[in-house]
Amino acid sequence: MNDDRFDDEEMMEDEGSFAELFEASLSDVGQPLERGKKIEATILQIGKDWTFLDVGQKGEGVLSSAELLDADGEPQYNVGDVIGAYFVSREGGELRFTTKVGGSGSGTEQLEEAFQSGIPVEGKIEKEIKGGFEVKLPGNVRAFCPYSQTGLRQAEPADLIGESLSFRITQFSERGRNIVVSHRAILDEEREQQRASLKETLKEGMVVKGSVTNIRDFGAFVDIGGIEGLLPISEISYGRVEDVNDILSIGQELEIAIKKIDWENNKFSFSLRDTLADPWSKVGSIYKTGGKYSGKVSRLAQFGAFVTLEDGVDGLLHISKLGQGQRIRHPQDVVTVGQSLEVMIEKVEPEERRISLALVGAEAEEAGETSYSDAPSSSSASGFGSLGDLLKASQEKKGRKGKKRK
């Protein structure tokens, strides 16, 4: 008898263990499924009414095949494609999923369920009303979407009228007579998923694609899908950039290098210049000592004028090379920004990225080293109005010397 009693207890324990194992077999292999939870599912089979999904469980998921059709009723997906789907319920051993609540047969009950579970709903922006837009949801139910909830960045109202989008129901009251929706909530969720993926893969030095979202005096902001960072004005080009708007425009697609990543402070910086060929690689081959070139005055300093040979390659025309034998107070006395000049390369310092220039055909005063920072003594300088004035004075001086010889 005692042995029989022990056998009964063992059978009960085995049955309990089996029940637990069976329940476990119905749960997610990874994290447990909750209503409204979004997962990645692989399409196993597409039928006329139902599509079967591999959802990472012991059993298969089912989804209405109508959800896989486009606006023209044509299939958008094939067997083997991966889609995002939301868990709805477990009924009769089946795991029911949806991509979003939609269709003319949907009503306020389904919309309330979508509100409770966080499942997106299809909606069409019908018209602009005070504070936002009126949106038509499935079942001809009307909802309100505030301006701020239409997207990550506010668009022109006229561009949104007639658009069909996915929305999250953020408020459901008065039995469906008062519904507020948000498209931005969907975009925020997608952006967080992109950000999580980028955090695993993004490294400094990588080249990625991005879109210009805003332009400021100090640079441009670029969105690379998941994060937005700054492209400083100094990182746009090898040449000097005066106005960012001359080079970039909002919405422009770029390939940029990741300059700095700071996840903790949510700060990211990019470089367009690092993706371009360095113009200084030409110095020594195209730009040689003794060579004569056309250039344009790009900047004036107390000690001389900077002349751009091409974007990113500037040389210094020292103030001592501008006076035609006469001392001047400032380069602006003889040259102006934007003026074209014919120059000759006197010296190249590749490591310091410096080029020393002289005017072609001009008799320049020998002044030894022409430093990038040395300025002449103002007490001994005498000014002239223009380069023409200097040349005229030089010719008059020669004329006086000729008369004395006679």
Q: Give the C-alpha separation, 358 to 381, whole Å.
A: 20
CA separation, residue 336 to residues 146, 302, 307, 341, 376 (Å): 54, 13, 11, 10, 19
Q: Give the C-alpha separation, 183 to 189, whole Å.
A: 10
What does pTM read for this prediction?
A: 0.55
Please compute the mean of the pLDDT values over residues 55-83 and round it to a whole number: 83
Q: Do domains 108-187 and 202-275 have the same CATH topology?
A: yes
Please state whether 375 falls in left (phi above 0), alpha (psi between -120 and 50) or beta: beta
Residue 76, both tokens:
């958008």
Q: In whole angstroms, what separates CA 49 from the centre of its chain?
A: 41
Q: Give the C-alpha separation, 79 to 173, whole Å.
A: 40
What's domain 108-187's architecture? Beta Barrel (2.40)
Return the CATH superfamily for domain 202-275.
Answer: Nucleic acid-binding proteins (2.40.50.140)
Q: Which residue has the higher pLDDT, 393 or 344?
A: 344
Of the candidates 259, 278, 262, which has an alpha carbon nearest to the alpha carbon of residue 270?
A: 259
Inform me whether the pLDDT recorded for 387 exceeds 50: no
CATH topology assigned to domain 25-98: OB fold (Dihydrolipoamide Acetyltransferase, E2P) (2.40.50)
Contact 138, 103 (CB under 8 A): yes
- Res. 399 pLDDT band, cuts 50 70 90: low
Residue 318, both tokens:
């020292």
* For the chain, percent of residues with pLDDT exceeding 90: 23
Eight-class DSSP state of 75: B
- Res. 94 pLDDT band, cuts 50 70 90: confident
Inform me whether the pLDDT recorded for 21 exceeds 50: no
Given the DSSP bridges, would you call strands 207-216 and 219-223 parallel, antiparallel or unpaired?
A: antiparallel
pLDDT at 28: 41
Inform me whether the pLDDT recorded for 40 exceeds 80: yes
Q: Give the C-alpha separation, 300 to 328, whole Å.
A: 14
Inform me whether the pLDDT recorded for 15 exceeds 50: no
Please compute the mean of the pLDDT values over residues 70-98 and round it to a whole number: 82
Please list, residue by residue across 71-109, b when 16 or more beta carbons sit within 10 angstroms of its beta carbon and e when fewer do. Answer: eeeeeebeeeeebebbbbeeeeeebbbbbbbbeeebebe
Q: Collapsing DSSP states into helix, strand and coil, what is residue 100?
A: coil
DSSP E strand stretches across 154-303: 164-173, 178-182, 207-216, 219-223, 228-232, 253-262, 267-271, 292-301
- The per-residue pLDDT of the chain, averaged, comes to 79
Q: What is the pLDDT of residues 250-291, one digit of tens each?
A: 999 999 999 999 998 889 999 998 888 888 887 877 888 888
Q: Per-domain residue ranges for the chain?
A: 25-98, 108-187, 202-275, 279-366+383-394
Q: What dotted CATH number matches 279-366+383-394?
A: 2.40.50.140
Please compute the mean of the pLDDT values over residues 128-139 and round it to a whole number: 90
Inform me whether the pLDDT recorded for 383 exceeds 50: no
Contact 318, 356 (CB under 8 A): yes
Inform me whether the pLDDT recorded for 182 exceeds 80: yes
Please compute the mean of the pLDDT values over residues 145-169 and round it to a whole number: 86
pLDDT at 252: 93
* Amino acid in position 35: R
CA angle 121-125-129, nearest 5°? 125
